[in-house]
Amino acid sequence: MQLDTDKNGLPAIFKAWQVPLIEELFKRNPMISRQAHIFLKERDIVTGGTGSKVSVSRASVINFLNYLVDQELLNYTMETGKGGYHRIYTMTLTREAFNHRIIDLFLDTLRTAFPTEMRLSPG
């Protein structure tokens, strides 16, 4: 995750194609990677300043979903199905808890990068 100080909310943290996917995960729960990829393909997702469409590979979608799992923002279960095992991704946090978790991740990174300064800062 990177912070873009020119933006607010989820777009300040995530890429243009990732924000609608996160929003959809709050609405449609659970979701498999194929559903997530189809969702993105059906939308006219555009990049920040270029105005061009974003073509997102299924591998990128899977990597992003797994990243969210690693950051404890999503959970998953494994189920067998046609073609083998499938991860079923579930948004277990509320929007508020999701946002607080992102803030905690940034603060943890700052504490690691600047341990002395973070101890000395007020609050």
Comparing C-alpha atoms, which of 63, 10, 66, 62 is closest to residue 37?
62
> What is the Cα–Cα distance from 37 to 79, expressed in whole angstroms?
19
So what's the pLDDT on residue 96? 96
Question: For residue range 34-79, what is the model confidence (pLDDT) as tens digits?
Answer: 999 999 888 766 554 455 666 788 999 999 999 999 999 999 999 9
Read off the tokens for 8.
């607010």
Question: For residue range 80-97, what is the model confidence (pLDDT) as tens digits?
Answer: 988 888 999 999 999 999
| pTM for the model | 0.83
* 3-class DSSP state of 65: helix
Q: CATH number of the domain at 10-92, please?
A: 1.10.10.10
Domain boundaries, the chain: 10-92
